[in-house]
């Protein structure tokens, strides 16, 4: 009996030691779960789908190189269906059911505003790929939990207007689409123009469903504008405007904001769009910098052709999360830990251009140096010469 | 007890709510889903009331909910009023607009009324987007305060369930009242109703006003729960979904919309492709209208009645649906 | 201002083509086909995917096919004894939602565009795209054909008889069901033509159907839903109002035009009034 007991105890303690050893190793090998709540259906899917593609290939690339301190990245994908209700719902699910430590998304400004309170309550930071100024407004109670991973709309508009001022124009017109993006462009153009020596003498707008923009183009032409600022993100509206402008004899050059930096706009706008300037976040499709080229090749290997800057902005979200996780190092990776680490993340590697930096006081990580002015030529977006 | 026996629909609603609350209370994601489903059910119920009973195919229920939501949000943010005052506004504003619309258009046939409500819904949408100084325009209103004591998801679930049961109770009472009987007669034969001395315009307009108020109350809960309200939150798509689920569940039956919404929400969890959602909704609507014009509840009731004689407890189904 | 009016008229010619199926269907079958915008989208989507002339033909074929589905559903409903006008309208709604979703599923969120004319004609000092003139010419051709068919041929007489009194027409050995089905199919064809024309001017995407249907309906009821001529004039009126709205006030007002039209007309005219005797819409 004594022998059995001793053998039993020995077996039991060996088993316990082995088990403890294995579970400790298993814990440090647990994947780091990052949520991606993006618009995979509905109108905003034009940007949400490229964001998803980039996040997926970038995460796979990191995992292939061993992950972060031996831990693999696991991306949890949820569709926010381009509406704020489902954005909030997606964030709730990712945070409470899937227990992610950070969320890239939602894809639209209204989605981020709706999900902000949830992120605050469930203590998971949101890495928002939207330009809407309101999401990093310090008056929001949930401000500490939102980090912007793209240049804001205000920065975009300023860069376009500065480019227009360099062209020597004085009287400009604004053509915008009837939605949040368009209206914001109009408002900021009005606000920033006088400081740059420009005067917005006329503006015209069109709803998504407009089939013909000749009345709008006529209005701008009648006001004698020397150049037009285009705040449009729907490719077909952009094309319609270009055609209408040519038809009615609106001859001044057009300067488009980043909303139109899409392959489908450049390809369909036709020969009359040659010379049209389009602001872009990097130029992954047609003139990539070395990191952009690397992301492009990762995408192509996965069978996806880069569409515009959606992929870059999505990857920004992932690289920011990776940077935060690396800063935490060996400690436990939780939502609040990620949030604190993000505020210390500065100068970390990204695929986009420019210097990415967050601080406890600034949650807008990207600004002008990731933007570049391109020109439509031959169905492509070529870099501006000189 | 006779009170309960006279309100079987309410009994079922209470039982359903109790089951749901017990099932989801420990899971935050499911509780969140339940709250949002409850809000959708309230809007669908309002569509069922206006279509199933008053024969008004209203495609503006989402707009009424949005009006109620904005009224509640503005009351809380701009005027600092407590939640109950916001609820009063959320009931009154949509009801007033619904009543006025109905009076202007009541002589129209159901089809024309449907188009008018669709146009109204779109107009409301455009005004909410454009009137920036009031509604925050495209950006909307963020930071809507909670409802005092009720500030956890479970609390909101209890609130939504209570509102749903009260609405079903009120709906049932309405159908058992003189008003409800008048609605029935109007639905079958307006000339006969007028001959009976019923003020058709007033009765129908009141029904639409009540349905608008119900949708408005759903908007009130939505605004306080999500705490953000934008023009994309409650749109024409919401109206369409509410109507589709109400008809699929059975618009003539009080619990039809409830059944339809819960069923669709459950199915959505298991539908793989998001883009194909519309295909499923639309296809289901077509099939159900072909096979069971009274909706799924109607189909169930017919087959049950075929097997044993049962005293019909719902509002009488009719060919007008 | 004249320029806005002219541009509005040209814009309105496509709206008029969309209004034609609405009017035709309403007078013949007494119901609304909500899927008109969806047929237009389907035609454009297919034509954008298949290059050249075969693409146009394929697009039209698909639009007619989809409308044929709606026609069959309508006939099935009548067979099942449903006399209500609302039920087919609801069904067409479901069909519209399903078609838009199908397009999204197959082709995604991209716009459906084709390169149109790139040179312009100068008429009376205004530069006009040939596309606008093509639209106008096609519409005039269609309306003239429809008017001729309706009032000068046997087919037209049979259609008008079916519209006035289906039971009587059936007794007179008029193939009522076939005519009703043909009306749906014709509606699909017209909507398809409109979709293709829009594809050449500004392009369409999967969010277009509801707006197109409503615009078409608004255009069809402005001058009374009776004849193709009225639908065409309604299209011109609507287009001009939209152009003036865009030219002189904000885009928000321009967007409100079709809906405001619908509401005003419904509230003030006798369209769709509830008859007391017979209750025939």
Q: Are A51 and A81 in contact (CB under 8 A)?
A: no
Alpha-carbon distance A187 to nearest alpha carbon in chain C (angstroms): 14
Among B272, B278, B214, smallest CA distance to B240 is for B278
The share of chain A scoring above pLDDT 90, in percent, equals 60
d(CA C231, CA C220): 5
First vs last Cα of chain B: how many Å apart? 33
Q: Which pLDDT value is given to residue B284?
A: 81
- The more confidently predicted of residues C65 and B189 is C65
Q: Closest CB to C7: pick one of A209, A218, A271.
A: A218
Pick the most confident of B105-109, C144-148, C243-247: C144-148
User: Within C30-51, where are the H helices?
Assistant: 36-49
Q: Closest CB to C252: pick one of A178, A235, A239.
A: A178
Residue B6 is assigned to a structural domain of this protein = yes
Q: How confident is the model at residue A19 (pLDDT cuts 50, 70, 90)?
A: very low
Cβ-defined contact of B142 to A109 (cutoff 8 Å): no
Cβ-defined contact of A206 to C128 (cutoff 8 Å): no
Cβ-defined contact of C207 to A237 (cutoff 8 Å): no
Alpha-carbon distance C200 to nearest alpha carbon in chain B (angstroms): 26
Tell me: pLDDT of C275 over 70.
no
Tell me: pLDDT of C196 over 60.
yes
Tell me: pLDDT of C194 over 70.
yes
Cβ-defined contact of C77 to B289 (cutoff 8 Å): yes
pTM of the model: 0.86
Q: Is A360 on the interface with C (CB under 8 A)?
A: no
Q: What is the pLDDT of residues B285-301, one digit of tens each?
A: 888 888 877 778 888 88
Cβ-defined contact of A218 to C247 (cutoff 8 Å): yes
Mean pLDDT in residue range A348-367: 92
Cβ-defined contact of B107 to C93 (cutoff 8 Å): no
Mean pLDDT in residue range A206-235: 88
Q: Which pLDDT value is given to residue C57?
A: 92
Which long-range contacts link A367-371 to residues 24+ away (Cβ below 8 Å)? Answer: A367/A151, A367/A152, A367/A155, A368/A151, A368/A155, A368/A158, A368/A159, A370/A151, A370/A281, A370/A282, A371/A151, A371/A155, A371/A156, A371/A159, A371/A258, A371/A279, A371/A280, A371/A281
Q: Which residues of A touch C246 (CB under 8 A)?
A: 204-206, 210, 215-216, 219
Alpha-carbon distance C144 to nearest alpha carbon in chain B (angstroms): 28
Residue A24 is assigned to a structural domain of this protein = no
Q: Which residues of B touch A88 (CB under 8 A)?
A: 32, 226, 228
Alpha-carbon distance B10 to nearest alpha carbon in chain A (angstroms): 28
Residue A4 is assigned to a structural domain of this protein = no
Q: Is A79 on the interface with B (CB under 8 A)?
A: yes
Q: Which pLDDT value is given to residue B274?
A: 61
Q: Which pLDDT value is given to residue C157?
A: 85
Q: Which residues of A touch B139 (CB under 8 A)?
A: 109-110, 113, 132, 134, 180
Cβ-defined contact of A214 to C11 (cutoff 8 Å): yes
Mean pLDDT in residue range C42-47: 93
Residues A378 and A242 in one domain: yes
Residue A276 is assigned to a structural domain of this protein = yes
Q: Are B69 and B91 in contact (CB under 8 A)?
A: no
Q: Is A187 on the interface with B (CB under 8 A)?
A: no
Q: What is the pLDDT of residues B174-203, one digit of tens each?
A: 888 888 888 888 877 778 888 888 888 888
Q: Which pLDDT value is given to residue B226?
A: 92
What is chain C's mean pLDDT, rounded?
83
Give the range of the structural domain holding residue A173, as residue numbers without chain letter. 154-283+372-383
Q: Are B249 and B40 in contact (CB under 8 A)?
A: no
Q: Which residues of B touch C262 (CB under 8 A)?
A: 115-116, 118-119
Residues A191 and A276 in one domain: yes
Q: Is A81 on the interface with B (CB under 8 A)?
A: yes
Q: Is A200 helix (H, G, I), strand (E, B) or coil?
A: strand
Alpha-carbon distance C152 to nearest alpha carbon in chain A (angstroms): 35
Cβ-defined contact of B278 to C97 (cutoff 8 Å): yes
- The more confidently predicted of residues A84 and C251 is A84
Q: Which residues of B touch C271 (CB under 8 A)?
A: 108, 112
Q: Are A335 and A319 in contact (CB under 8 A)?
A: no
Mean pLDDT in residue range B64-87: 92
Cβ-defined contact of A41 to B274 (cutoff 8 Å): yes
Number of domains within chain B = 1
Cβ-defined contact of C202 to A215 (cutoff 8 Å): no
Tell me: pLDDT of B279 over 70.
yes
Among B279, B236, B274, B231, smallest CA distance to A49 is for B274
Number of domains within chain A = 2
Residue A180 is assigned to a structural domain of this protein = yes
Q: Which residues of C touch A246 (CB under 8 A)?
A: 118, 120
Q: Which residues of C touch A206 (CB under 8 A)?
A: 246, 251, 254
Q: What is the pLDDT of residues C167-183, one digit of tens each?
A: 888 888 888 888 889 99
User: Which of C27, C75, C259 has the most B C-beta neighbours within 10 Å, making it the best mutation to test the interface with B?
Assistant: C259
Residues A360 and A377 in one domain: no
Neighbours of A (≥3 Cβ pairs closer than 8 A)?
A: B, C
Mean pLDDT in residue range B226-250: 88
Residues A233 and A379 in one domain: yes
Cβ-defined contact of C76 to B129 (cutoff 8 Å): no
Q: How confident is the model at residue C280 (pLDDT cuts 50, 70, 90)?
A: very low
The interface predicted TM-score (ipTM) is: 0.84
Q: What is the pLDDT of residues C75-113, one digit of tens each?
A: 988 888 777 777 888 889 889 989 988 888 888 777 788
Q: Are B257 and B248 in contact (CB under 8 A)?
A: no
Residues A103 and A211 in one domain: no
Residues A278 and A182 in one domain: yes
Alpha-carbon distance A136 to nearest alpha carbon in chain C (angstroms): 28
Tell me: pLDDT of A68 over 80.
yes
The share of chain C scoring above pLDDT 70, in percent, equals 95
Q: Closest CB to B33: pick one of A82, A89, A134.
A: A89
Tally: H helices and E strands in chain A: 12, 12
Q: How confident is the model at residue C270 (pLDDT cuts 50, 70, 90)?
A: low
Give the range of the structural domain holding residue B256, as residue numbers without chain letter. 2-307
Tell me: pLDDT of C276 over 50.
no
Inter-chain Cβ pairs, chain B and chain C, closer than 8 A = 139
Q: Which residue of C has its CA nearest to A262?
A: C110
Q: What is the pLDDT of residues A301-329, one digit of tens each?
A: 999 888 888 999 999 999 999 999 999 98
Q: Which pLDDT value is given to residue B57?
A: 83
Residues A241 and A379 in one domain: yes
Q: Is A122 on the interface with B (CB under 8 A)?
A: yes
Mean pLDDT in residue range C145-174: 84
Residues comprising chain A, all counted? 386
Residue A163 is assigned to a structural domain of this protein = yes
Which of these ranges, A130-139, A154-163, B131-140, B304-313, has the smallest mean pLDDT?
B304-313
Alpha-carbon distance A183 to nearest alpha carbon in chain B (angstroms): 8
Pick the most confident of A4-18, B99-113, C13-27: C13-27
**CB contact set of C262 (below 8 Å; sequence gap of 6+):** B115, B116, B118, B119, C214, C217, C218, C221
d(CA B224, CA B230): 13
d(CA B319, CA C12): 39
Residue A18 is assigned to a structural domain of this protein = no
Q: Which pLDDT value is given to residue B307?
A: 67
CATH number, domain of A350, equals 3.40.50.2300
Residue B312 is assigned to a structural domain of this protein = no
Neighbours of B (≥3 Cβ pairs closer than 8 A)?
A: A, C
CATH number, domain of B106, equals 1.10.3470
Among A243, A240, A266, smallest CA distance to C208 is for A240
Q: Nearest 5°: phi and psi at C80?
A: -75, 0
d(CA B182, CA A4): 88
Mean pLDDT in residue range B41-46: 95
Mean pLDDT in residue range A211-233: 90
Cβ-defined contact of B276 to C101 (cutoff 8 Å): yes
Domain ranges of chain C: 2-117+128-265
Residues A181 and A272 in one domain: yes
Q: A381 - beta bridge partners?
A: A376
Tell me: pLDDT of A4 over 70.
no
Q: Which residues of B touch C105 (CB under 8 A)?
A: 273, 275-276, 279
Mean pLDDT in residue range A249-262: 90
Pick the most confident of A135-149, B101-115, C125-139: A135-149
């Amino acid at each position: 009996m004594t022998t059995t007991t001793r053998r039993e105890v020995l077996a039991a303690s060996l088993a316990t030691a082995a088990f403890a050893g294995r579970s400790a190793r298993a814990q440090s090998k647990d994947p780091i779960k990052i949520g991606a709540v993006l618009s995979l259906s509905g109108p905003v899917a034009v940007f949400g789908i490229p964001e998803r593609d980039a996040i997926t290939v970038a995460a796979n690339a990191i995992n292939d190189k061993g992950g972060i301190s031996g831990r693999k990245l696991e991306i949890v994908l949820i569709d926010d269906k381009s509406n704020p209700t489902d954005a909030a719902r997606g964030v709730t699910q990712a945070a409470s059911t899937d227990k992610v430590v950070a969320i890239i998304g939602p894809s639209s400004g209204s989605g981020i505003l709706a999900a902000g309170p949830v992120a605050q309550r469930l203590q998971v930071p949101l890495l928002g790929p939207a330009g809407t100024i309101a999401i990093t407004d310090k008056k929001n109670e949930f401000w500490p939990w939102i980090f912007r991973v793209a240049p804001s709309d205000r920065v975009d508009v300023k860069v376009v207007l500065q480019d227009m001022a360099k062209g020597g124009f004085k009287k400009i017109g604004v053509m915008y689409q009837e939605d949040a993006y368009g209206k914001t462009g109009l408002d900021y153009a009005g606000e920033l123009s006088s400081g740059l020596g420009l005067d917005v003498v006329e503006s015209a707008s069109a709803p998504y469903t407009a089939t013909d923009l000749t009345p709008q183009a006529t209005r701008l032409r009648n006001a004698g504008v020397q150049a037009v600022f285009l705040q449009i993100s729907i490719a077909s509206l952009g094309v319609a405007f270009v055609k209408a402008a040519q038809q009615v004899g609106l001859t001044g050059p057009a300067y488009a904001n980043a909303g139109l930096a899409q392959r489908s706009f450049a390809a369909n706008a036709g020969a009359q769009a040659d010379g049209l300037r389009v602001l872009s976040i990097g130029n992954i499709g047609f003139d990539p910098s070395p990191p952009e080229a690397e992301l492009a090749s990762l995408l192509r290997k996965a069978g996806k052709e880069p569409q515009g800057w959606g992929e870059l902005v999505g990857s920004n979200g992932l690289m920011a999360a990776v940077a935060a996780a690396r800063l935490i190092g060996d400690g436990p990776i939780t939502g609040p830990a990620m949030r604190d680490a993000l505020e210390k993340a500065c100068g970390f590697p990204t695929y986009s251009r420019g210097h990415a930096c967050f601080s406890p006081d600034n949650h807008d990580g990207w600004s002008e140096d990731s933007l570049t002015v391109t020109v439509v030529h031959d169905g492509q977006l070529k870099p501006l010469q000189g | 007890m006779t009170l309960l026996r006279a309100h079987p629909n309410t009994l079922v609603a209470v039982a359903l709510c109790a089951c749901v609350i017990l099932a989801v209370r420990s899971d935050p994601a499911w509780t969140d889903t339940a709250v949002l489903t409850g809000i959708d059910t309230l809007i669908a119920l309002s569509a069922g009331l206006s279509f199933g009973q008053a024969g008004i195919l209203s495609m503006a229920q989402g707009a009424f909910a949005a009006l109620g939501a904005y009224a509640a949000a503005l009351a809380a943010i701009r005027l600092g009023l407590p939640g109950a005052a916001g609820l009063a506004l959320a009931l009154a504003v949509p009801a007033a607009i619904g009543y006025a619309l109905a009076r202007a258009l009541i002589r129209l046939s159901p089809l024309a009324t449907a188009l008018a409500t669709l146009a109204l819904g779109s107009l409301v949408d455009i005004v909410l987007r454009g009137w920036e100084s009031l509604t925050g325009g495209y950006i909307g209103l963020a930071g809507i305060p909670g409802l005092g004591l009720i500030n956890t998801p479970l609390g909101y679930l209890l609130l939504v369930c209570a509102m749903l049961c009260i609405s079903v109770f009120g709906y049932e009472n309405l159908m058992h009242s003189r008003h409800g009987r008048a609605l029935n007669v109007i639905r079958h034969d307006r000339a006969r109703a007028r001959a009976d001395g019923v003020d058709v315009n007033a009765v129908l307009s009141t029904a639409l006003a009540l349905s608008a108020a119900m949708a408005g109350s759903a908007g009130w809960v939505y605004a306080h729960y999500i705490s953000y309200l934008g023009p994309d939150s409650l749109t024409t798509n919401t109206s369409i979904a509410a109507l589709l689920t109400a008809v699929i569940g059975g618009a003539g039956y009080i619990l039809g919309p409830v059944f339809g919404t819960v069923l669709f929400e459950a199915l959505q969890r298991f539908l793989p492709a998001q883009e194909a959602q519309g295909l499923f909704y639309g296809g289901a609507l077509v099939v159900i209208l072909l096979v069971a014009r009274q909706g799924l509840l109607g189909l169930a009731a017919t087959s049950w009645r075929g097997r044993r004689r049962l005293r019909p407890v719902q509002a009488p189904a009719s060919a007008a649906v | 201002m004249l320029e806005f009016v002219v541009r509005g008229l040209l814009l309105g010619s496509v709206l008029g083509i969309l209004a034609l199926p609405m009017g035709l269907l309403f007078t013949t079958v007494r119901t609304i086909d909500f899927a008109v915008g969806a047929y237009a989208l389907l035609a454009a989507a297919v034509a954008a995917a298949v290059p050249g002339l075969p693409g146009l033909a394929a697009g039209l074929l698909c639009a007619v096919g989809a409308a044929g589905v709606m026609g069959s559903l309508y006939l099935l409903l009548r067979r099942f004894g449903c006399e209500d006008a609302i039920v087919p309208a609801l069904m067409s709604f479901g069909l519209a939602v399903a078609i838009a979703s199908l397009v999204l599923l197959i082709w995604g969120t991209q716009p459906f565009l084709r390169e149109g004319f790139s040179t312009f004609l100068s008429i009376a000092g205004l530069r006009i795209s040939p596309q606008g003139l093509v639209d106008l010419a096609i519409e005039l051709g269609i309306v003239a054909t429809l008017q001729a068919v309706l009032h000068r041929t046997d087919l037209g007489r049979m259609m008008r008889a079916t519209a006035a009194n289906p039971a009587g027409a059936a007794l007179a050995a008029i193939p009522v069901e076939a005519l009703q089905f043909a009306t749906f199919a014709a509606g699909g064809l017209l909507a398809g033509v409109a979709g293709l024309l829009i594809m050449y001017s500004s392009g369409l995407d999967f969010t277009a159907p509801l707006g197109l249907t409503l615009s078409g309906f608004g255009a069809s009821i402005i001058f009374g839903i009776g004849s193709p001529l009225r639908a065409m004039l309604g299209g011109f009126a609507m287009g001009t109002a939209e152009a003036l709205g865009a030219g002189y006030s904000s885009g928000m007002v321009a967007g409100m035009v079709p809906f405001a039209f619908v509401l005003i007309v419904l509230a003030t005219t006798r369209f769709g009034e509830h008859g007391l005797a017979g209750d025939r819409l």
